[in-house]
Amino acid sequence: MTAWLATNLVAAALLPPLLLVILLTAGLIVRRRLPRLATSLILLATTALYVLSTPWVGGLLLKSLEISTPVRSADLQAADAIVVLAGGSYRDAAEYGGDTPNSISLERLRYAVRLHRASGLPLLVTGGKPDDGALAEGRLLQQVLLNEYGIAPRWVEDAARTTWDNARLSAPLLKQDSVHHIALVSHAWHLRRAAPLFEAQGLAVIPAGIRFSSIRVDSLLDLLPTPVGLRDSSFALHEWLGILWYKLRSFVA
């Protein structure tokens, strides 16, 4: 837990919105001694906040991460199984009487069910307890599959704390049942980081992404700052930072 928390604290400091708050605070602190630097920092933070908060820029950054188009039925013929990556949980949900998968996890799971019903391929769900919830995310997805879809996953991986762990811990479960080709379900912006990690474990990966981004400017509102725009930009920059971190980690290893 300590390593996971430390990693995420460092990541938060390198990404918006906390990075912009740090720049703005630094500018305010040095404004009397170094007025030119202070002005530059404040302008940089303000401009970056505006730009990164626009839906168009958020969509552009997410689009830069996409490595495939939506999967086709014909593509699934080469797969032996469908792997679903958990994306977080909603802890102590009062309306559910405990932990439940968050919206990111549920979006992925819903699409995986669609692919499962279309292909008949078995499901693997993967996710541990990175934030020390009551139940592992993999187990939460298993519950939803059983209780809401009437589907039992063939494999449940419940120890992974990171995407790296998802791949490292899921591969042995699949290989022991002679599964070597998988359809990997996650958000389209996450697969650039996730797919190579599973391939590094000796699995052939068919990216099965969801929520593909648009870079069209449909109205003036796409160029105005919104919370959703900032969220999308933060997701994208987090992914690029994660990709860089994994490359550095692999190089050092």
Q: What is the chain's Cα-based Rg?
A: 20
What token pair was written down for 39?
A: 């002005």
Is residue 232's pLDDT more than 90?
A: yes
253 pLDDT higher than 80: no
Q: What is the pLDDT of residue 3?
A: 72
| DSSP E strand stretches across the chain | 81-85, 89-93, 98-101, 123-126, 155-157, 181-187, 204-210
Assess whether pLDDT exceeds 90 at residue 30. Answer: yes
- Each residue's pLDDT tens digit, 124-180: 999 999 887 789 999 999 999 999 999 999 999 999 999 999 999 999 999 999 999
Query: Among 32-36, 106-110, 120-124, 248-252, which is the least confidently predicted range?
Result: 248-252
Under 8 Å between Cβ of 20 and 48:
yes
The whole-number pLDDT of residue 8 equals 83
Q: Which two tokens stand for residue 36?
A: 């030119």
Would you state the pLDDT for residue 13? Answer: 93
Average pLDDT over residues 184-195: 98
pLDDT tens digits along 56-89: 999 999 999 999 999 999 999 999 999 999 999 9
215 has a pLDDT exceeding 60: yes
Mean pLDDT, residues 39-53:
97
Please state the rounded mean pLDDT for residues 172-198: 98
pLDDT band with cut points at 50, 70 and 90 for residue 185:
very high
pLDDT digits (tens, 9 = 90+) for 109-130: 999 999 999 999 999 999 999 8
| pLDDT at residue number 74 | 94
**Is residue 1's pLDDT more than 70?**
no
- Neighbour tally for 233: CB within 10 Å: 26
Nearest to 173 by CA among 186, 154, 187: 154
Distance in angstroms (rounded) separating the CA atoms of residues 105 and 94: 18
* Residue pair 90/99 in contact by the 8 Å Cβ criterion: yes
